[in-house]
Structure 1
Amino acid sequence: MIDHAAKRSVLALSGGVGGAKLALGLEDVLPAGELHVLVNTGDDFEHLGLHISPDIDTLLYTLAGKANPSQGWGLEGESWHMLEALAQLGGETWFQLGDKDLATHLWRTHRLAGGQALTAVINELASQLGVASRVHPMSSDPVRTTVHCRSESLPFQRYFVEQRCQPEVTGFSFEGIGNARPNREVMTLLRNGAFSQIVVCPSNPFVSIDPILQLPGLWQALADNPAPVTLVSPIVAGIAIKGPAAKMMAELGVPVTALGVLAHYCRHYPGLVNNFVIDASDATLASSIDEPGVNVVVASTVMKTRDDKQSLAHAVLDLVEG
C-alpha cells in the first residue's frame, strides 16, 4: 500500500450524502489538511429569507462528526421546535430545518449579508466546526439547478424534497452558470500542480457533478492537469446507493449501469476520466468498457461502515503510484 503521507494534496468533487461518505474516508487516510473538496452549490437556494447550502452542510457535518448517522444529512440529536411552531402559523414546512441546523443557516446568511463571499463564509464555517480538510464551494456566484419534468420545471429542492423526486425527469439546466466563476483558490491550486490526484466521488452525475464541471473552464482545467482523475461509480448493480440517480438515468434513456455512468462523463467531458472504479458486483462489466485511456478498477464501493469508507479511499489513492 502506498504511503499517502508522501503524496501531495487530493482534490475531491462531491455532492451531498454519497460524496460525503468517500470524502470522510479520504480525510481519515490522508494527512491532516491534505484533502480539498470542491462541492456542488447548484442546489443552494433561499428559503424563509435564509441562504441554504444543502450539499456543503452535509459535507461539513459529516467531516465534523456531527451528521445524523441514520440519514446521512442534518445534525445528530436534532430537535424540531421551530418547525412545529412555524406549522402552527401556517408557514412553509416542506423543507425540514432543525433547530441546530437553523443556526448554521442564520450564521451563513448574516455573513453573506455583510458582504462576505460564499467561499470565505464556508472557510470560516469549516474552521468553526473543527473541519481539518478544505471544503470549497464550487463558486461564490449563484448557480441554481432546475429540474425539467414532463409536467413542469421545478427548482431542484422543490423536486427533490417537496415532490420527493416523483415527477418524471426530461432534463436539467443550471441558471447563472454561464457567468459563474469557478472557485478561485481551487483554480490556482490546479495551475500550480498542487494535487496528486483528482477524485470524482460517487455523487449524482446530473445534479451534483455536472454543475461543477460545467462551470466555465473548470472541466478543461481538470482534464489538462497532470493529476489523474478517478471516477467512482454511483451506480452499483443497477441501483443508486443513495438518491435518485438511477431513476433519473432510466427516465433520460441512459442505461442504469456503471457503463451508463462512464458514457455520460466521456460524452460530455472527453478526456477527463483516467481511472473508473466500479463495485465488485459489477466486475463482469469491466471487460465491456473500452473507452480509450480509461483504466477500469474493481473494488468494494458500498460504504456502510467507517472501515468501508477508509478501504475505498485506500483503493482510490493507491491508483497513483508512489
Structure 2
Amino acid sequence: MILTLAGGVGGSKFVKGLASSRYKEDVTVVINTADDFERFGLYISPDIDINMYTLAGLIHEQGWGFKDETYTTQSVLTDLFGQDCWFNLGDKDLATHIYRTNLLRKNITLTEITRNLCNKLGVSMRLLPMSNDRISSYIDTPDGCFHFQEYLIQRRMSDKVLNIDYRGSTNASPSPGVLDSIAEAEIILVAPSNPLVSIGPILSVPGIKEGIKKSKAKVIAVSPIVNGGVIKGPADRMMRDMNIEVSPIGIADFYEGLLDGIVIDFLDEQYSDKLQKRGLGVLVTDTIMDSDEKKERLSNQVVEFAADVKVKAL
C-alpha cells in the first residue's frame, strides 16, 4: 500500500498523477485540514476540496474551485450587503460547503463526510482528513497573528513570518484509518506541498510523525522547491523567513529523521551529492507537473524509485 501526505495545489497535482499511475489501486491520501476555516457560517476545507475536485476532473484551471464557476452569490453579498468577500466562494463551490456544514451540525465526522463527497463526485481514491478534530495554522507576524487563509489571501503573503502555530494539534487525534494506513504502508510519499503549512500540520497530529518513524515503509519526499523557488504559493518566502534554506537541502532538514529518499528537479542536481552524503537516496528528474502526462510520469518514477531505496534503520 502507498500512503501519500498532501496539501492543496501542489499536492493535488501529484495525487492526480498517482490516480493515473500504474499504482492507482493501492493509494491512500492523508490531507491537511489546518487550512480549514469558516466563512459566513460555512465550514470550508480547501485542501480536501482541491484534491476531490482535481480527481473528479472538476477543478478550475486556477487550481482551486469548480471549473466554469459563477460568482452571483458573492457579488450580491459584496454589492448589495457590503460584505468583504476576500475569500472567493463560487456558486458551485458553495454547494459543497453548505452540504458539509449541514452534516457537521448533525455530528457526522469530517472523515465520513469526505468519503460521502468522494462517492458523490465519483472519486475512488481513498482520501482521509488528517484529523476529525479542529486544527488551525496561525501565522505569527510583526503585525499580529493571522489564520493562514488571512495571511495567504487577505494579506497577500505580505507579512514576515515569525512563527507558525498549529492550534489544536496537541489535543487532536488522527482520523480513523490514518495510523493503520501508516503501519500497513510499504511506501510513504510526501507530496511536493508546502512543508510548513501543508505537511507540517499533518506531522503535528500526535501519533502521525511517530508512526512514520516506526514504520518499515520507504519514506520519500518530492521537493516543492525548484531552482530556489516554488511554482505556486508562499513556501519559499515562508522558509526564508523561518531561516530554512530554500533548496532541497532545506526540505531534507525540515523532514530530518523521516526520509529514506528525496526527489529533486534537474535544476537542483547540484544538491544531489550533499543529500546522498546524508544517507538519502536521490532521484533527479523533471518535477514540473504542467500536464497530466507529466504528473503521471513523475508519480510512476517516484514509486519505482522508492522500491529501490534502502530503508532507514529502525
Residue 97 of structure 1 is matched in structure 2 by 89
Q: CA separation in 1, counterparts of 2:120 and 2:22?
A: 21
| TM-score, normalisation: structure 2 | 0.95
SS for the counterpart of 1:169 is coil
Any conservation in 1 of the 2:261–2:306 contact (CA below 8 Å)? no
Residue 80 of structure 1 is matched in structure 2 by 71
Q: Does 1:299 align with 2:285?
A: yes
Any conservation in 2 of the 1:231–1:276 contact (CA below 8 Å)? yes
Over residues 2-48 of structure 1, what are the superposed CA-to-partner deviations in whole Å (9 max), with x where a residue is unaligned? xxxxxxx2111000000000000011014554221100000101110
Residue 134 of structure 1 is matched in structure 2 by 126
The correspondence for 1:66, drawn from 36, 41, 58, is 58
Within 5 Å, which residues of 2 pair with 1:182-197? 182-191=174-183, 193=184, 195-197=185-187
How much does 1:224 deviate? 1.2
Residue 12 of structure 2 is matched in structure 1 by 20
Residue 38 of structure 1 is matched in structure 2 by 30
Q: CA separation in 2, counterparts of 1:190 and 1:163?
A: 36
**What is the aligned-residue identity percentage?**
38
Any conservation in 1 of the 2:18–2:24 contact (CA below 8 Å)? no
Unaligned runs of 5+ residues in structure 1 are 1-8
Q: Does 1:208 align with 2:194?
A: no
Q: Does 1:274 align with 2:260?
A: yes
Q: CA separation in 1, counterparts of 2:84 and 2:215?
A: 45
Residue 249 of structure 2 is matched in structure 1 by 259
Task: Please provide the CA RMSD for this pair.
Answer: 1.3
Q: Does 1:169 align with 2:161?
A: yes
Q: CA separation in 2, counterparts of 1:288 and 1:214?
A: 27
Over residues 125-173 of structure 1, what are the superposed CA-to-partner deviations in whole Å (9 max), with x where a residue is unaligned? 1111100101110000000110011221101111111111111111100
Q: CA separation in 1, counterparts of 2:150 and 2:102?
A: 24
**Structure 1 residue identity aligned to 2:86:** W
Q: Which runs of 4+ in 1 moved over 4 A?
A: none
Unaligned runs of 5+ residues in structure 2 are 309-314
Residue 232 of structure 1 is matched in structure 2 by 222
Q: Does 1:155 align with 2:160?
A: no
Q: CA separation in 1, counterparts of 2:87 and 2:108?
A: 26
Any conservation in 1 of the 2:218–2:307 contact (CA below 8 Å)? no
Residue 308 of structure 1 is matched in structure 2 by 294
Over residues 84-109 of structure 1, what are the superposed CA-to-partner deviations in whole Å (9 max), with x where a residue is unaligned? 00002112311110000000000000
Any conservation in 2 of the 1:32–1:132 contact (CA below 8 Å)? no
Over residues 216-250 of structure 1, what are the superposed CA-to-partner deviations in whole Å (9 max), with x where a residue is unaligned? 01111012111101100000000111100011111
Any conservation in 2 of the 1:33–1:134 contact (CA below 8 Å)? no
SS for the counterpart of 2:14 is helix
Any conservation in 2 of the 1:50–1:109 contact (CA below 8 Å)? yes
Figure out how many residues of one structure are paired with residues of the other and give that number.
307
Q: CA separation in 2, counterparts of 1:75 and 1:138?
A: 23
Q: CA separation in 2, counterparts of 1:263 and 1:290?
A: 13
Q: CA separation in 2, counterparts of 1:12 and 1:90?
A: 42
SS for the counterpart of 2:302 is helix
How much does 1:291 deviate? 5.5
